[in-house]
């Protein structure tokens, strides 16, 4: 049964106005709160080309993650989803597509026979525009990374003017980023920094790089330290630069280079948004809280979804009708009380506007009622609201 009142902004953000006022000190009686006998379940999140796994970093208890980009079920002759193509410099756009090519197996060959090759889907840059200062880039725009190790297998296949392939990283926009590239034609492995469209002098080395052969290029960034690996060996000595500390990543080519990329993987420490910090703080403070999820809009807009959660598997899941109604009408919902009780409450900004819906799963106790459940849930909301000024603060 749904309650009859509205969110009370005159008492405090964690209180509700129903038939009677639920005051700051909980001294007034509470009418019946909205309830939902069973909360609407989540629809599964579909990761089209991403496989995400989380694990504890070996250096401590901070959460690290690995993301691999599988092309197996994606359509041929189309660019991969989540990527954006653009060109730095002159010339026409790049032609980035998923194609099938022969790829050397990663399994070591111990028989002494020729290396086994498989037909595998790869990302290819197929444009043959010979414009000199032309740099086609395919950037992954769905996430920003701080500390990470990015790796890919690359192959420079053809090119009259150039035969190059590389990785863009810590990209701010189309005019500000780092990149490292290999040149089969020139026999060099070089690092560059681009600031406001101006390219730095190269840092790197002369290196034999056979054309038509698969190589592994990797970049490791920790703080302001940058390390480049070539075929699992040091490619360029460790560098220090603090121009860009976070950013997106992408694939890079030059001029008429026909190049292929596959087995793209990034190991990274997720950047923690404020909502995630608030969840971590609340979980540490309230030992009877078993799960927390914050539903709000992403920074770039779009559908309401879980932007932060105590269980990483919940992040990204779309909001159900309950969370949508909480955000729309500032209502409170609770589940049937069993071994746990689930409360879904509004979270407000400094002006009292509803900016998120917070799902709180708590251990119940004998004699638990709707009143005791809300009494225990409100301090969690108050703790979060102390640090939130705007919705933008919450997700950035």
Q: How confident is the model at residue 18 (pLDDT cuts 50, 70, 90)?
A: very low
Work out the average pLDDT over 275-289.
Answer: 92
The token duo for 260 is 């292929």
Is the per-residue pLDDT at 391 higher than 80?
yes
d(CA 79, CA 75): 9
| 3-state SS class at 327 | helix
Domain C-terminal end among 232, 248, 268: 268
Q: Residue range 230-248: average pLDDT?
A: 95
Q: Is residue 53 part of a domain?
A: no
Average per-residue pLDDT for the chain: 84
* pTM to 2 decimal places: 0.60
Give the model's pLDDT for residue 113.
Answer: 62
| Segment 161-179 mean pLDDT | 97
**259 lies in the same domain as 286:** no
User: Buried (b) or exposed (e) across 208-222, using 16+ Cβ within 10 A?
Assistant: ebeeeebbbbbbbbe
What per-residue confidence (pLDDT) applies to 34? 36
Q: Are residues 263 and 280 in the same domain?
A: no
The H-assigned helical ranges of 231-290 are 274-285
Give the pLDDT band (50/70/90) at residue 299: confident
Give bridge partners of residue 104 from the DSSP assignment.
117
pLDDT above 90 as % of the chain? 70
Tokens of 237: 């000595």
pLDDT score at 226: 98
Looking at the domain assignment, is residue 29 inside a domain? yes
Please indicate, yes or no, if residue 284 is contained in any of the structural domains.
yes
Rounded mean pLDDT, 118-141: 96
Q: How many distinct structural domains can be found in the chain?
A: 2
Whether residues 135 and 210 share a domain: the answer is yes
Q: Which of 147, 150, 124 is nearest to 67 (CA)?
A: 150
Residues 291 and 259 in one domain: no
Residue 194 counted as domain residue? yes
Domain boundary, last residue among 218, 243, 268 = 268
Point out the least confidently predicted range of 179-188, 251-260, 299-308. 299-308
Say if CB 216 and CB 232 are below 8 A apart: yes
Does one domain contain both 205 and 289?
no
Pseudo-torsion of CA 281, 287, 288, 291, nearest 10°? 40
Asked if residue 102 and residue 34 are part of one domain, the reply reads no
Q: Which of 242, 268, 294 is the last residue of a domain?
A: 268
Q: Are residues 123 and 259 in the same domain?
A: yes
| CATH number where 198 lies | 2.60.120.560
What whole-number distance in Å separates Cα of residue 390 and Cα of residue 32?
Answer: 30
Q: Is the pLDDT of residue 25 over 60?
A: no
Cα–Cα distance, 199 to 263 (Å, whole number) = 28
Number of H helices, E strands in the chain: 4, 24
- Determine contact, residues 250/171, Cβ cutoff 8 Å: yes
Residue 48: how many CB atoms within 10 A of its CB? 10
Same domain? For 283 and 238 the reply is no
Confidence of residue 47 (pLDDT cuts 50, 70, 90): very low
118: which strand partners?
Answer: 103
Label residue 360 by pLDDT band (50, 70, 90). Answer: very high
Question: Residue 132 domain-assigned?
Answer: yes
pLDDT at residue 282 is higher than 60: yes
Output DSSP code: residue 21.
B
Residue 54 lies in a domain: no
For residues 295 and 391, state if they share a domain: yes
* Contacts (Cβ under 8 Å, ≥6 apart) of 348: 7, 9, 13, 354, 355, 385, 388
Query: Predicted confidence band at 75 (pLDDT cuts at 50, 70, 90)?
Result: very high
Same domain, 289 and 179: no
CATH of the domain at 18: 3.30.450.40
Residue 55 lies in a domain: no
**Whether 365 contacts 371, CB under 8 Å:** no
Tell me what pLDDT residue 114 has: 57
Whether 218 is covered by a domain: the verdict is yes
Q: What is the pLDDT of residue 274?
A: 87
Q: Where in the sequence is the domain holding 228, given as residue range(s)? A: 63-268
Same domain for 157 and 258, yes or no, is yes
Degrees to nearest 5, angle at CA 94 with 92 and 98: 155
CB neighbourhood size of 319 (10 A): 24
At 300-352, the pLDDT tens digits run 888 999 999 999 999 999 999 999 999 999 999 999 999 999 999 999 999 99
Q: Do 243 and 309 lie in a common domain?
A: no
pLDDT computed for residue 107 by the predictor: 64
């Amino acid at each position: 049964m749904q309650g009859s009142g509205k969110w009370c902004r005159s008492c405090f953000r964690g209180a509700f106005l129903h038939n009677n006022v639920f005051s700051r000190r909980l001294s007034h009686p509470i009418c019946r709160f909205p309830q939902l006998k069973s909360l609407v379940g989540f629809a599964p999140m579909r990761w089209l080309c991403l496989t995400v796994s989380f694990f504890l970093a070996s250096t401590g208890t901070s959460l690290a993650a690995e993301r691999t980009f599988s092309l197996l079920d994606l359509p041929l002759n189309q660019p991969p989803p989540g990527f954006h193509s653009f060109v730095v410099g002159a010339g026409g756009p790049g032609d980035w597509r998923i194609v099938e090519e022969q790829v050397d197996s990663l399994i070591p060959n111990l028989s002494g026979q020729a290396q086994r090759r498989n037909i595998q889907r790869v990302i290819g840059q197929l444009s043959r525009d010979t414009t000199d200062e032309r740099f086609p880039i395919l950037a992954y725009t769905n996430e920003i990374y701080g500390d990470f190790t990015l790796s890919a297998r690359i192959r420079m296949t053809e090119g009259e003017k150039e035969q190059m392939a590389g990785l863009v990283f810590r990209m701010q926009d189309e005019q500000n980023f780092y990149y490292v590239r290999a040149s089969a034609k020139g026999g060099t492995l070089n690092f560059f920094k681009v600031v406001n469209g101006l390219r730095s002098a190269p840092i790197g080395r002369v290196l034999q790089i056979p054309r038509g052969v698969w190589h592994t290029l990797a970049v490791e960034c920790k703080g302001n330290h940058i390390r480049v690996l070539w075929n699992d060996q040091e490619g360029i000595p460790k560098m220090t630069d603090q121009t860009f500390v976070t950013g997106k990543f992408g694939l890079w080519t030059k001029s008429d280079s026909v190049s292929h990329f596959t087995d793209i993987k990034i190991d990274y420490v997720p950047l923690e948004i404020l909502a995630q910090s608030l969840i971590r703080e609340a979980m540490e403070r309230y030992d009877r809280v078993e799960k927390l999820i914050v539903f709000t809009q992403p920074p770039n807009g779009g559908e309401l979804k879980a932007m932060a959660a105590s269980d990483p598997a919940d992040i990204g899941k779309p909001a159900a009708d309950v969370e949508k109604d909480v955000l729309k009408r500032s209502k409170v919902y609770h589940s049937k009380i069993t071994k746990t009780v689930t409360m879904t409450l509004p979270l407000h900004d400094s002006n009292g506007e509803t900016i998120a819906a917070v799902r709180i799963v708590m251990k119940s106790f004998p004699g638990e009622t709707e009143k005791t459940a809300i009494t225990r849930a409100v301090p969690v909301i108050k703790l979060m609201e102390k640090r939130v000024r705007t919705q933008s603060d919450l997700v950035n």
